[in-house]
Structure 1
């Protein structure tokens, strides 16, 4: 190859190297720091305990999951909790609804705005619990709230600030500013 033939090749190679050096990097769209792993609508999730009994079900209009934070946000969640008593071989069913909810690390569900806990079995002293925010520990089946709580049943109407309850042991503790009315009627 003579000099004359190699000049266009060298110029082409130089142009390619200059173009590669000054070429702008492609700008890729960046995702926000907290982008959801998935968004789903009309959620229906059923969970069983280690012995095979139905543990709880979660329904929601919409769920947004953030895997990095181990967080799932729900719109209009409804949770059905089943508690099985081995001694009497009975199952009590509780329904918990609210406007919004957030599930942390698969066992702590924080429900907010118009929270209603309802005994669907009608077999407990307390039939309904109303509050604006409630934390449900799904693994222990415990409820807690630091806000105003109203408990109602066939023979009781009770209000107070702060509450802890166990759906398994059927215990309820109102913490402060308690107002209670007990009805002495057989229903």
Structure 2
């Protein structure tokens, strides 16, 4: 090939390289800083203890998981917590519902907006509790709140600000401003 025949190819190559260099770069759409890893609808999640017995179940209409923040956000969560009595092998079932919830990696579930705790087994002194925010330590089966809590049981209605309860040991501690009404009605 002569120099005269090679010049158009060399010029074409130079023009192509200049075009590649000067071509506007396409901007990739940036993801939001905390984008979800996944979004799931109508979820059911079962958790078992070391003995293979069911420990708790989590249901929600929507779950959004953020792996970078190690948190899962729930819409309309419902949690069923199972407590086995070692003396008579009976199982007490607690149901906790709310409008919103956030589960962190250390099994700490924070529920907010119209939170209700119900004893489905009807075998405890406290049958129902309600508050606006509640924290559940799922591994320890403990619940707590710093807000006003109302609870009811057979022949009683009580309220107080701030509480901690162990569902396993059946302990309940109310921090302040306790008000109680005891009813003498036979049930």
Which interval holds the TM-score relative to the shorter structure? over 0.9
Aligned to 1:57: 57
Between 1:123-132 and 1:10-19, the stretch displaced more is: 10-19
Shift of 1:26: 2.1
Matches within 5 A, 1:89-108: 89-108=89-108
Match of 2:73 in 1: 73
TM-score, normalised with respect to structure 2: 0.96
Return structure 1 stretches of 4+ with deviation > 6 angstroms: none
| TM score, norm. by length of structure 1 | 0.96
Alignment of structure 1 residues 81-160 onto 2, 5 Å: 81-160=81-160
Match of 2:2 in 1: 2
Q: Distance in 1 between matches of 2:170 and 2:129?
A: 13
- How far does the alpha carbon of each residue in 1:124-151 deviate from its partner, in whole angstroms, 9 at most, with x for none? 0000011010001101000000000011
Shift of 1:185: 4.9
Tell me the matched-pair count: 187
**Runs of 5+ consecutive residues of structure 2 not aligned to the other structure:** none
User: Does structure 2 conserve the Cα–Cα contact (< 8 Å) formed by 1:79 and 1:96?
Assistant: yes
Cα deviation for residue 14 of structure 1 reads 0.9
Mark the CA change 1:106 to 1:39 in structure 2 (over 3 Å): closer, same or farther: farther
Gaps of 5+ in 1: none
Is the 8 Å Cα contact of residues 125 and 155 (structure 1) preserved in structure 2?
no
Cα distance between partner residues in 1 of 2:159 and 2:71? 31
Q: CA deviation at 1:184?
A: 4.3
In 2, Cα distance between equivalents of 1:106 and 1:75? 20
CA-based RMSD:
1.1
